[in-house]
Amino acid sequence: MVFGLGIAMGNVWASGWRPWGGPADNAPVVRYNPEVFMTVGQSKVIHAERGDCGELPRDWPDVVADLPGPALGTFSDGGLARRNSIFCKGMTPARAIVFNAERVGVEEFRIQGDHLKVTIRPAE
């Protein structure tokens, strides 16, 4: 009986279903896209920094302190999100990172080990 209960619980756990909810359960999903195209004046979520697998991400002041200093715009907080993580083997809470395009050009940087190339065109 205990063996059967263990198998059943293992199947429920593997399915991702939990009897409790968390603040990120309905947060938007941010997908990794290594190449982003924007126009001057546009703001767009370009990445999401995950916390420890299943745990909430760091607060924005801690995240922004570790981001590179972009030359063509600024970063801002996109709020609570979720992202698929290979390391975590599935969805995990994250903090969305918004890039605010201010100048025309191409910029490349790394965020949490991921390479991003942002191309900013003039506003039409």
pLDDT in tens, 76-115: 999 999 998 888 888 899 999 999 999 999 999 999 889 9
- What DSSP element (H or E) covers 66? none
* Dihedral pair phi/psi, residue 10, rounded to 5°: -65, -40
Does 12 have pLDDT greater than 50? Answer: no
Average pLDDT over residues 1-6: 58
* Dihedral pair phi/psi, residue 57, rounded to 5°: -75, 170
Chain position carrying tokens 């941010």? 30
74 pLDDT band, cuts 50/70/90, is very high
The amino acid that residue 50 corresponds to is R
Predicted structure pTM score: 0.80
> Which pLDDT does position 19 carry in this prediction?
47
Beta-sheet pairing, 114-121 with 35-39: parallel
Q: How far is CA 50 from CA 39, 44, 62, 94, 96, in A?
A: 27, 18, 13, 4, 9
> Which pLDDT does position 11 carry in this prediction?
52
> Which pLDDT does position 41 carry in this prediction?
97
